[in-house]
Structure 1
Amino acid sequence: MPAPDAITADKLAKLLGTPRCPTILDNRRDGLRAEDPYLLPGARVVGEADHAAEHLEPLIASLQGPVVVACAEGHGRSQGLAALLRSRGIAAEYLEGGHAAWRAAGLPLIDPGKITARDAAGRSVWVTRSRPKVDRIACPWLIRRFIDPRAVILYVAPSEVASVAALYGGAPFDVEETFWSHRGELCTFDVMLAEFGLKLPALDRLAKIVRGADTARPDLAPEAPGLLAASLGLSRMHSDDLEQLEAGMAIYDAFYRWCRDATDETHNWPTNRPGGAS
């Protein structure tokens, strides 16, 4: 049984990809992280220099909601930072067994080298075409739920994606002749899953739905036409792309939870008749 201020890898894994996922802080020593740079999905790096007061205070001020701190094996570094955060009124736990326990459980880790450069606030910047439909909502959802919860998404005119990405050091995506784009029959969502090594059954199932909706292949998944209908409806409801993204986050949250937890459930009417009357 974990300590009252600890969370197990299994429990934290169940929160991944959901709006309830805590902020994850990777608090390993710099040397250990250099040997094994892979991060828990969505984790923010807290380097050794960040423990200095001038850096720690801005970090604490930037935290919103619950926090999980992960060090190498769940000892003093993570327990200490979690305790310090709790003393500042932040709901903080440490990852029991640390990074080692997460890796031993075969849970997903991402290569931070695949993430674009970050802005002054430490946020990754991603740039794509305006007026999104499927991939350009699905990919930001994936980025914010599994790669960088604070990611900045910029929607601009198609002709300006490259120049805006260069201006802000961002990564262009879902644009032809860029790294983060369609490859053969795969859509950009598929490519991001593969490049970041995000292998989860729920994401694999969701990817097939996204691919079917995004590439006019409704035969790939029965749910693909429904996702396409919801996506096109949102694009007509919202003239502001960022407002559409916020609304779309809820759509993808729902599809992800269905893919993870509810694929065997059905619904019919009437239900729960008293006494089993027909």
Structure 2
Amino acid sequence: MPAFSEISANQLMRLIGTPDAPVLIDVSVDEDFDADPFLVPGAVRHKHTDIIALLPGLTGRTVVTICQKGGKLSHGAAAMLRDAGLNAEVLAGGNYSWRDAKLPRVPAASIPPKQNGATLWVTRHRPKIDRIACPWLIRRFVDPSARFLFVPPAQVLDVAARYDATPFDIEDTFWSHRGVKCSFDTMVEEFALATPALSRLANVVRAADTNTLADVPEAAGLLALSVGLSRQYKNDTEQLDAAMPLYDALYRWARDGADETHDWPDNRGAK
């Protein structure tokens, strides 16, 4: 059982991917991390000796600190944050407990280099499905601070080269469709996030994005809402922000509610 200032791996997994997820800070030393270079989904690395430098961006947030074994590094960092007035806990058992629980771990090598503390991505403007679903996945499970540029299709690769951005959902690039799979599938696979919930959500995204609506009943609803959002917003960044709660809800459906149905009358009083 975790101590009062700790959170278990399974408890933390229930929060990851939701808007209420804590800020996850991995304070493992380089030597330990290089021996097992994987991250809890959504975690960012930061030196334990400089943890106070993060304070301006943590106001009002709950924090979970992580090291390889859940020992002195993470407990010391959490105590420093609590001393500064934050609500900070430690992942009980650290990265090793997460690994031993067989929970998803993001390979550090799969995450593009960061600029000013955030990954930078670029894709075609006027997004509908894949180009909204992928940013949601990245922000919820890979890099909460990720930034996204939406530009004319002919400019994507040049913008990527000029601004050191990572192109996605465009032909002949790494982060794109592969066979019958869409870019969201590619990211779930490359970031090692194939949980039952995200795999179920990927089925919906793929069917909506590739016009195979008959394969997944929920895909028609996602397509309708996505087209509606694209008509409602002229600014692609504003559209992405507005769509985040939609995908949050779809994720909770995929994780907790896929078996629930609704009918009228509901017959709850029937014997």
Q: TM-score, normalization: structure 1?
A: 0.93
How far residue 270 of structure 1 moved from its aligned partner, in angstroms, is: 4.2
How far residue 101 of structure 1 moved from its aligned partner, in angstroms, is: 0.4
Q: Which moved more, 1:221-230 or 1:60-69?
A: 60-69
How far residue 224 of structure 1 moved from its aligned partner, in angstroms, is: 0.5
Q: Distance in 1 between matches of 2:66 and 2:39?
A: 10
Secondary structure of 1:74's counterpart equals coil
Amino acid at match of 1:106: K
Amino acid at match of 1:76: K
Count of aligned pairs between the two proteins: 270
Give the alignment of 1:20-59 within 5 angstroms: 20-47=20-47, 51-52=49-50, 56-59=51-54
How far residue 42 of structure 1 moved from its aligned partner, in angstroms, is: 1.0
**Alignment counterpart, residue 115 of structure 2, candidates 102, 114, 119:** 119
How far residue 117 of structure 1 moved from its aligned partner, in angstroms, is: 1.7
Amino acid at match of 1:115: I
Secondary structure of 2:24's counterpart equals strand
Tell me if the contact between 1:25 and 1:43 (Cα under 8 Å) persists in the aligned partners: yes
2:187 maps to which residue? 192
Tell me if the contact between 1:118 and 1:169 (Cα under 8 Å) persists in the aligned partners: no
- The gaps in structure 1 that reach 5 residues or longer are none
2:91 maps to which residue? 95
- The gaps in structure 2 that reach 5 residues or longer are none
Secondary structure of 2:38's counterpart equals coil
1:79 maps to which residue? 75
Is 2:239 the partner of 1:247? Answer: no
**Alignment counterpart, residue 257 of structure 2, candidates 257, 262, 273:** 262
Give the alignment of 1:173-212 within 5 angstroms: 173-212=168-207
Q: Distance in 2 between matches of 1:58 and 1:85?
A: 10
Tell me if the contact between 2:28 and 2:68 (Cα under 8 Å) persists in the aligned partners: yes
Amino acid at match of 1:70: I
Q: Distance in 2 between matches of 1:181 and 1:268?
A: 39
How far residue 135 of structure 1 moved from its aligned partner, in angstroms, is: 0.2
Give RMSD over aligned pairs.
1.5
Deviation track 1:4-34 (CA, whole Å, cap 9, x = no partner) reads 2110000000111111111111111110011
Change (3 A) 1:219 1:272: closer
1:19 maps to which residue? 19
Change (3 A) 1:233 1:31: same
How far residue 277 of structure 1 moved from its aligned partner, in angstroms, is: 6.8
Tell me if the contact between 1:116 and 1:169 (Cα under 8 Å) persists in the aligned partners: no
Secondary structure of 1:93's counterpart equals strand
1:66 maps to which residue? 62
Secondary structure of 2:252's counterpart equals helix
Secondary structure of 1:203's counterpart equals helix
How far residue 267 of structure 1 moved from its aligned partner, in angstroms, is: 1.9
How far residue 90 of structure 1 moved from its aligned partner, in angstroms, is: 1.3
1:160 maps to which residue? 155
How far residue 115 of structure 1 moved from its aligned partner, in angstroms, is: 1.6
Amino acid at match of 1:264: D
Amino acid at match of 1:255: L
Secondary structure of 2:106's counterpart equals coil
**Alignment counterpart, residue 136 of structure 2, candidates 122, 137, 141:** 141
Secondary structure of 1:68's counterpart equals strand
How far residue 268 of structure 1 moved from its aligned partner, in angstroms, is: 2.6
